[in-house]
Amino acid sequence: MVSKADRLKTTIGDLCMASPVIIASGVWPYDEKMWNSDLLEGVGAVCTKAVTTRPRIGNPGIRLWETPSGMLNSIGLQNTGVESFLRDYLPGLSNVELPFILNVAAESEEDIISTLSSLEQVSDRIPCVELNISCPNVDDGGMLWGKLPEGAEKAVGTARSVWKGPLWVKLTPQAFDIAEIGVAAQEAGADALVASNTWLGMDIDIIRSEPVFQRTFAGLSGPAVFPLALRVVWELCSAVSIPVIGCGGVTSARDCLAMIMAGATAVETGTALLTDLNSPLKICRGIEEFLDSRSFEFLKDIRGIARKRA
């Protein structure tokens, strides 16, 4: 009999997770009660909210807007800065058994060095950093790093000059050639790739006769982008040898299974949690039911299986 604890186990480098389901950055609050509760049943790891060198107040105006089969957001990386994270939040996270992934965003090379230098001093307490070169809702840095191979190489190389621990890189689907970006990030020192962040979109408030968001464009997430995200995962898995974490519209066991069959090692889910906090547990149960129905023992047995039949 296969142990339930081992069946969905997923390993990315030295990070071992009980399930392949990771909560994406920007969703889970730092509230200690949320980190030590049965709400995290079925979750393999949690990505923190983005951390930047200096505090950011985020974008003005409307920040969330529901769309058919999805959601637009323009948060703008609101956070209290790396010093506040180390002082106010890291002590609480250090007491959590579930591994966390620290999402880091930067506007410049100097910011990457500054933020990661501060984190390197406590690297024994941080399981992994997710370098965000993909945020569409800020003017500087953000997805500009990830649109061209040269930018990705510079951002990841700069991070690697400081941060010696596990490093994931979150890519933008706005890249001109996502495979080239992935290869550049891998060669610069990335241990894994997250594919990907939100797609640029917009909406117009027809009552006010103007764009919903003050920045006009915002990031689209949710089920509407899943087929696009799956294509990005497929292309990256064809180009790189490091693990790929599928992200974008994952809301069900079927979505997770498709990502894994395309070659992903794990998935990140975010928008689904806004309507159902138990979605990670439901995803895991659905995966186990599928494995039973197809006589597979472990989730790893189906990784990349669709590629062999393409």
- Please give the positions annotated as active site: 135
For residue 221, the surrounding DSSP H or E stretch is: strand 218-221
Residue 136 near residue 198, CB atoms below 8 Å:
yes
How many CB atoms are closer than 10 A to CB 208?
8
Secondary structure of residue 167 in the 3-state scheme: strand
How many CB atoms are closer than 10 A to CB 23?
24
Decide the pairing of beta strands 45-47 and 100-105.
Answer: parallel
The sign of the torsion formed by the CA atoms of 179, 184, 186, 190 equals negative
Hey, which bits of 133-181 come out as E strands? 167-170
**Interacting residues of 174 by C-beta distance below 8 A, sequence separation 6+:** 136, 143, 146, 147, 199, 200
Residue 247 near residue 231, CB atoms below 8 Å:
no
CA distance 39 to 292: 25
The gap from C-alpha 159 to its chain's centroid, in whole angstroms, comes to: 17
Hey, which residues does 104 pair with through a beta bridge? 51, 131
CA distance 281 to 256: 12
Q: CA nearest 156: which of 112, 118, 211? A: 112
Q: CA nearest 264: which of 192, 176, 157, 186? A: 192
Query: What spatial distance separates the first Cα and last Cα of the chain, rounded to whole Å?
Result: 32
CA distance 37 to 253: 22
